[in-house]
Amino acid sequence: MKALLLNLDPIRFVVLQILRPISIKFCYTGPFSTLKLADIPEPKLPSPEWVKIKTRLCGVCGSDINLIFMKDSPTAMPFTSFPCVPGHEFCGDVVETGRDVKNCRIGDLVTVIPALNCDTRGIQPVCRSCAAGIPGNCENFAEGAFAPGMFIGICRDVNGGFAEYVVAHKSQICRVPAGVSPESAALTEPLAVGLQAVLDNMPGSGDKVLVIGGGVIGAMVVKSIRALGSRCDITVAEPSKFAAAYTKKSGADRIIGSGLIDAAVDIAGGRAYKPLLRERIVMGGFDRVFDTVGHRNTINSALRILATNGTLSIIGIGKEVKLDLTPLWLKLQTVRGCYAYRYNTVKGGRKQAFEMALDMIAKKKIRVHDMLTHKFRLADYRDMIEVNLYKNARRAMKTAVSFE
């Protein structure tokens, strides 16, 4: 079958460190490209608990782009294995089921919770995280039946959705409700990321909230806050006019292009003080901040503009950062890591955020299909990458590979 194969062997990595400053195109064109179109065998069911899916759509995540351009932190490398087929935001039709699968049938349109945790790896007893209902943060991402990989798409043994066929464990399968389009189903995963971040840092109706980054995840955070019923004041920092307009339409009260310190003063009522060196620090400021960028500058700024007892949720995944932790102790702040999604205690019981996200889409509490602005054939992956590099100029919000 046709697939996009990503490889980061040591020689390629070293050569691209030299070539990338000359042109980033070396990362996806030429003999040392990290990505290529390849013919690979169709996957077989690893056990009777697995399902085979014919892919319809697979969204392009920022983490996919980071891998292609080698921008991830080396700390995550023990939990990734190459060569791999990326793509973890996908939906498709069930074409084969193992004898122990009861939650779907051949012909069903499904989407997949991509984490390769204890259940999928055949590990018993399950780890503390999985037992606690946090399977997306499993302790066994490098153990069990498969090569290392936190989720489908970064494990050499379980290919992702940038391929014609995918396999998934029965615990990962979510049947797509009637009336939900494939476009919406493929965007369940990024919505679940934003939804979980909000559930872990839920704003009160009187809170002043800042979302740093108005791209896909930033918009999902805003949509989730509004769908959960909070009437808090939401400011989004986003320089791209195209993304800013979409995020404003998603429920933000206002968009700013820059000037986070000034925003904390003018919008959140803080008071700014100038130290002898470095940027001003704000007393008061925003009650909650969601950083979808995860850069050194955004995290340091977020701490400076976050109020006493405020919570900063870091959703963006970047390289190592150097932080001035003075605001952390000075203002008794909480910093939360955000990754994947888990089971949450909600009205009516305990529910996975991924399933909550799909239910919100089905009940039209959140609309996501309009976020998908560009579709590409698998063979046109270089065009897809370039659109993701220049989203504002190409008026792109979310892109996907389409097999339809």
What pLDDT, in 10s, does the model give residues 174-195?
999 999 999 999 999 999 999 9
What band does 394 get if pLDDT is binned at 50, 70 and 90? very high
Q: What is the CATH number of the domain that holds 275?
A: 3.40.50.720
In a domain, 254, yes or no: yes
Q: In the prediction, which pLDDT does 74 show?
A: 82
In a domain, 268, yes or no: yes
Q: Are 22 and 164 part of one and the same domain?
A: yes
In a domain, 358, yes or no: no
Q: In the prediction, which pLDDT does 321 show?
A: 87
Q: In the prediction, which pLDDT does 317 show?
A: 81
Q: In the prediction, which pLDDT does 404 show?
A: 86
Q: Are 197 and 177 part of one and the same domain?
A: no
Q: Are 160 and 78 part of one and the same domain?
A: yes
In a domain, 43, yes or no: yes
Given the DSSP bridges, would you call strands 173-175 and 109-112 parallel, antiparallel or unpaired? antiparallel
pLDDT digits (tens, 9 = 90+) for 120-130: 999 999 999 99
Q: Which two tokens stand for residue 270?
A: 């803080």
Q: Is residue 216 within 8 Å of residue 63, measured between CB atoms?
A: no
Q: In the prediction, which pLDDT does 285 show?
A: 98
Q: Are 151 and 292 part of one and the same domain?
A: no
Vertex 343: Cα angle to 123 and 235 (nearest 5)? 130
Place of tokens 């179109």: 37
Instruction: Report, as an integer, the average pLDDT of 25-42.
Output: 96
Q: Is residue 319 predicted with pLDDT exceeding 90? A: no
Domain finish residue from 337, 359, 388: 337
Closest CA to 389 of 377, 378, 368, 374: 374
In a domain, 8, yes or no: yes
Domain containing residue 380: 2-187+368-402
Q: Are 38 and 179 part of one and the same domain?
A: yes
Q: In the prediction, which pLDDT does 334 show?
A: 98
pLDDT digits (tens, 9 = 90+) for 262-283: 999 999 999 999 999 889 999 9
pTM of the model: 0.96
Work out how many domains the chain is built from and give that number.
Answer: 2
Q: Is residue 73 within 8 Å of residue 337, measured between CB atoms?
A: no
Q: Which residues of 276-306 are buried (b: 16+ CB within 10 A; e: fewer)?
A: eeebbbbebbbbbbbbbbbeeebbbbbbbbb
Q: Are 373 and 316 part of one and the same domain?
A: no
Domain finish residue from 291, 319, 337: 337
Which has the higher per-residue pLDDT, 320 or 302?
A: 302
Q: In the prediction, which pLDDT does 318 show?
A: 76
In a domain, 346, yes or no: no
- Cα gap 104→49, rounded to integer Å: 11
What band does 71 get if pLDDT is binned at 50, 70 and 90? confident
Q: Is residue 72 predicted with pLDDT exceeding 90? A: no
Q: Which residues of 224-259 are buried (b: 16+ CB within 10 A; e: fewer)?
A: bbbbbebebbbbbbbebebbbebbbebbbeebbeee
Q: Are 233 and 155 part of one and the same domain?
A: no
Q: Provide the mean pLDDT of the chain.
A: 96
Q: Are 396 and 332 part of one and the same domain?
A: no
What band does 349 get if pLDDT is binned at 50, 70 and 90? confident
Q: Are 181 and 232 part of one and the same domain?
A: no
Q: Are 152 and 245 part of one and the same domain?
A: no
Q: Are 176 and 238 part of one and the same domain?
A: no
Q: Are 216 and 301 part of one and the same domain?
A: yes
**131: amino acid identity, one letter:** A
Q: Which residues contact 277 (CB under 8 A, 6 or more apart)?
A: none
Q: In the prediction, which pLDDT does 301 show?
A: 97
In a domain, 353, yes or no: no
In a domain, 144, yes or no: yes
- Cα gap 366→296, rounded to integer Å: 32
